[in-house]
Chains A and B, each alone.
Chain A
Amino acid sequence: MINQSLKNLSQLLASKTVSSVEMTQTFLDRIRQYNPDINAYITVDEDKSLAQAKAADASIAAGTATALTGIPLAQKDIFCANGWKTTCGSKMLANFIAPYDAHVITQFNNVGAVNLGKTNMDEFAMGSSNETSYFGGVKNPWDLTRVPGGSSGGSAAAVAARLCAAATGTDTGGSIRQPASLCGFTGLKPTYGLVSRYGMIAFASSLDQAGPMAKSAEDCALMMNVMAGFDARDSTSLNHPKEDYTAQLNQPLAGLKVGLPKEYFAEGLDGDVAKVIEAAIAEYKKLGAEFVDISLPNANLSIPVYYVLAPAEASSNLSRYDGVRYGHRAAEYDDLMEMYMKSRAEGFGEEVKRRILIGTYVLSAGYYDAYYLKAQKIRHLIAEDFKAAFKQCDIIMGPTVPSTAFKTGEKTGDPIAMYLQDIYTIATNLAGLPGMSVPAGFSHDLPVGLQIIGNYFDEARMLNVAHAYQQVTDWHTAMPKGIA
């Protein structure tokens, strides 16, 4: 059951072969068995999950079930879920019980999906290895000595180790796609504004976007049908018509024009990863896709631009943690200023503090034009590069990450080496474009992801492109050894 598609799981429920309570219990048992080693979940509440499963079974019996009714899902601990501890991976929110539901959570509740628990993540989504979590790192199910990627590392490990049927993540600079690549599954970051940010704890508001993390493109499409949609409570939510993301899955790919950006195949890309990507390209040629060389000349500026914009927005967003209304408050202080300074010094981890300081610096008096405004201008140039590229092609492909999963601790002392994990993913966040990572093979027994970038609102076509590949390859069905 654990390796079944969402469609098959739904059929098992509809035919009453398995109840949602039984299915949920199966995953809860697996979490009990594997979570002590993998640390994918921060919070599990079996009673809450089983109560939802029971309600789902009633809905199935009453004939009111839809595609994801009764399906057990993992939710990244960045989404507020009413009555659930919602920590964002931080000591600051270690005891925060969310008093309301995020839009994404409401959407899944409305269709009767089951929340299996809240997954581990880099603190406030700042990291690419899940090592900055206050609740400890997450292990990569493919090799427990390696990281799962981040920031959605808990959701990634949960999908890879089959500790959920599918999961949610968020992606500010690559936090869905990089862990999808490192843990060997399918992850989609939608067009910015397609999924509401309401109740999703803010990191960098102009870049944050939620999306599905699942075993296949088809599963991601079913998740997108629930997650996407206009929400007036998010000021940047887009009023885009509701789509059925499964509708185009089986379109033939003949004549599809795929662009290969030369900057994504340049120095820095691991040779074995490059071979895997080349093999995927060869497979797409067999499916009838045509390839053209393209260029994203400003792509090399993505990381500098990102490390101005994201910390600047983070320093502003995280100023809300003052120890007054919620969050950690220091035990001892003499006055209000000291209370703020100590509470924040104690509540935030090293990487979060570092980014707040960078953000505060670039926004401080006299520097705004030289940093934040300059970065927003170059961001425009990066978006223009993609606009020009999409005149030559329908889809862009390349590697998701320059290498495979690295050893725990390998990059913790060197922030810049860590930041380079996102070198191929950040540009799409800056441009607001949708991006995916799809399993494309292995290098030394570690998964490699193929990145698929689409034009704005082209998620259905991207899912079609990924689905076609998954009909002729079986990389996406591979499971880590030792996980049965």
Chain B
Amino acid sequence: MALDNSDIKRIAHLARIEISDAEADKTLTKLAGILTLIEQMQAVDTTGITPMSHSQDVVQRLRDDVVTATNQRETFQANASAVAGGLYLVPKVIE
């Protein structure tokens, strides 16, 4: 599928990355080449092939529902750009 500038802006919005018109143009050229490369996959017949996500035949482990971590709120929040009273601050979202 051929992409155009508006597709790039739509994808960038989905990815929550601000992009200018000039950047979208530049990105379009580079992405087009990569998507052409990816299209090579379509020539392969994969009927009946199961998708693979892990090389070993493993299943998700379960563990007992017990507390394993200690409260380290202050340590973790030291990396945040805006906190108050143990909460993360963001622009107002609810009117």
Binding site for B on A (CB under 8 A): 95-97, 99, 191-193, 206, 232, 235-236, 238, 298, 300-301, 303-305, 307-308, 315, 319, 322-327, 329, 333-342, 344-345, 348, 353-354, 356-362, 364, 370-371, 373-381, 383, 415-416, 419, 431-433, 456
Contact = CB atoms under 8 A, between A and B. Distances in A.
Contacts of A354: 27, 30-31, 34
Interface in B62-95: 63, 72, 75-82, 88, 90-93
Question: Lowest 7 A-B CB distances belong to which pairs?
Answer: A432-B55, A376-B51, A326-B79, A345-B18, A380-B52, A377-B46, A341-B18
A274 B15 CA distance: 42
A171 to B, nearest CB: 14
Contacts of B80: 324-326
Interface size class of B (residues with CB under 8 A): 35 or more
Interface of B: 3, 7-8, 11-19, 27, 30-31, 33-35, 37-42, 44, 46, 49-56, 58, 60-61, 63, 72, 75-82, 88, 90-93
Contact of A341 (B17, B37, B44, B60): B17
A445 B13 CA distance: 48
Given A96-B79, A326-B76, 16 more contacts: A99-B75, A99-B76, A192-B55, A298-B44, A319-B16, A322-B16, A325-B76, A341-B18, A344-B17, A353-B17, A356-B17, A377-B49, A378-B41, A383-B55, A415-B33, A419-B37
Contacts of A307: 34, 37-38
A83 to B, nearest CB: 10
Given A308-B38, A344-B17, A348-B17, A360 B55 contact: no
B61 A192 contact: no
Contacts of A193: 54-56, 58
Contacts of B14: 360, 364
A192 B54 contact: yes
A361 to B, nearest CB: 5
